A and B are shown apart, each in its own frame.
Chain A
């Protein structure tokens, strides 16, 4: 079922510093509340978003990228869609990156697989040197 915008406008947050990470979490909270998500779902969405925004700071060229948050709907469901994009080096092996414990920075490697568990839908696309885009959706129950 196709996802449509429930509202024409999106909230866009630059992701280029630690302060932006806080701003990204606050924006996700506000939009999750607006979509009527329950407290646990809000918390899951924000936490996943924090992981994905942090990945931009860690891996993207110039440590910069963007978060775009939208109110969406699909048939009778409403929810929040968050898109994290950067123009960094991309992810070489997507399957590996989605595996628990895989990290190229000696970290725990749970940002991507953990985020996927926290949301209803997640797609990662990476076209080599043209960067990485991660889209997550959380629906209101």
Chain B
């Protein structure tokens, strides 16, 4: 049995598909390349709906494929993390490129409250810890 299926999350007819992967009860979305604002907002909406639909226990947002994150993209990422958290599902941002991290800090975008990890594997471990903490708090 496979715990790995691809959910094509693009709205039909746009010819574009943002793949949201499902690994067990965790969702993984990889942001890549040159994203325009509309695409970023679409990913945000689709990810939120996907978390609600699948009752995912956690989400990894992989940004290692983004060479530039300006304040708009950073704010949308922070907002989607806050939204899925409201749904009761923690999200971890993984793979922020070092040059992007340096730039965001200097630019002054508040990102310090986000849970982050170096890569997907460490992100998974962090999600497990966040879930365990959440269960204890209940």
Q: How far in angstroms is the closest Cβ of chain B from A113?
A: 7
How many CB-defined contacts (below 8 Å) exist between A and B? 68
Chain A residues touching B, majority SS: helix
Closest to A109 in B: B108
User: Is B68 within 8 A of A22, CB to CB?
Assistant: no
- Chain B residues 63-99 with CB under 8 Å of chain A are 67-72, 75, 97-99
Q: How far in angstroms is the closest Cβ of chain B from A45?
A: 10
Interface residue count on the A side (C-beta < 8 Å): 27
A129 within 8 A of B: no
User: In the docked arrangement, what's the CA distance between A22 and B67, Å?
Assistant: 12
User: Is A22 within 8 A of B36, CB to CB?
Assistant: yes
Chain A 79-123 per-residue mask, 1 if CB under 8 angstroms from chain B, else 0: 000000000000000000000100000001011011101100000
Which residue of A25, A29, A44, A54 contacts B103 across the interface (Cβ within 8 Å)? A44
User: Is A22 within 8 A of B34, CB to CB?
Assistant: yes
User: In the docked arrangement, what's the CA distance between A25 and B99, Å?
Assistant: 15
What residues on B are CB-neighbors of A29 within 8 Å? 67-68
User: In the docked arrangement, what's the CA distance between A77 and B39, Å?
Assistant: 38
B100 within 8 A of A: yes
Q: How far in angstroms is the closest Cβ of chain A from B42?
A: 12
A40 within 8 A of B: yes
Contacts from B to A (Cβ < 8 Å) = 34-38, 67-72, 75, 97-100, 102-103, 106-109
